Structure 1
Amino acid sequence: MRSALADRLAREPGLEVHHAPWCSAPARARVLRPDVCAVDLDCSDSYGIAPLGELQSRHNGSRGTRLVVLASANRPGPLRQAVEAHALGYVDKDATPERLVAAIRQVAGGRRFVDDSLGCGFLRAAEMPLTRRELSVLSLAAEGASIADIAHSLHLSNGTVRNYMAAITRKTGARNRVDAIRISQGEGWV
């Protein structure tokens, strides 16, 4: 899907397009120093929540890379994470490629772009009780990762992951880890 979208964007005049999977995207962004990164918030790598901050490094005092995210209103968790990463563009995943091109051009010019259809998602994201790190832990747990796997993926100790899971369980009003995952998936947080 990423390749097809990149091919479509590459046909637009004035856009130079490169694409990469999450595992190599931060390094590629540091080398290429793009003006804008377009990012799908539903990353399928072992990150849980897309590591958006890794794409925004500043280059010798410059403003750094601006972010355009492909988001869904029914997934307020990743949407909130994009807000915390100071993304400038928010495009509905169901929007046309032309809408994405418009967002990229507007964000490249330093202006915010937000699809109207994401308004409800922003409201739900503001009400979400979990932190970005808790969302990352919970996303990996929802994929079936063990405490040790989560700790390894996020560079944490097993005890720290257990503490995050306890906080998640308390904040969601869940009885246990499985219940916390069920509640969070029902709310669209993960």
Structure 2
Amino acid sequence: MVVGVIVAGEIAFWVLLAAGLVARYPLKLRRTGAVLLASTPLVDVVLLAVGTADLRAGGTAGQAHALAAAYLGFSVAFGHSVIRWADVRFAHRFAGGPPPHKVPKKGPERVRHEWREWFKVLLAWAVACGLLQTAIWWVDDPARTAALRGMEGFLSLVLVVWLVGWPVWVSVEHLLTPRTNGRKQSKTKQR
């Protein structure tokens, strides 16, 4: 049942997002669009309630419960920026808004962007692992919560890989890139 709710929740999130953007821009129903976009967190509340009810009824925490916690962490950390990302593109396409800002491939702005994204991942990890650990303590039966412990390890691995693979890598690359101070360096030395 929890897997079905996760799938339905993911579909509901994207349906609410699309409906909110369509109402906001092509239909010019700004208030309706705002209500639809603001209701996306309700999907998370329903998912949390279903998972809690299943565990309370004596269910064994499986991969679906663990995935539900990861999904909630992602929604808390990235939900707003996903909505903002879609809103900017929809406004540009349907309402004459400015084109979306592109993050440069290199430079200090790219470094700041990667660290900002990693801190979102850190927030997602903290929320998900907090929910997982709370469920582990609440159920208080290692046999029924093994999948939750496994998800904590997996999410911790993702956190470290993301840290090394993006913000640290981009930061080191930026530090090792020669500075030109706004001037193009000549390949030949002037005498």
TM-score scaled to structure 1, two decimals? 0.29
- Find the structure with the greater CA-based Rg: 2
TM-score by length of 2: 0.29
Greater share of residues in helix: 2
Comparing both chains, which one has the higher relative contact order based on Cα–Cα distances under 8 Å and sequence gaps of 6 or more?
A: 2
More strand by share: 1
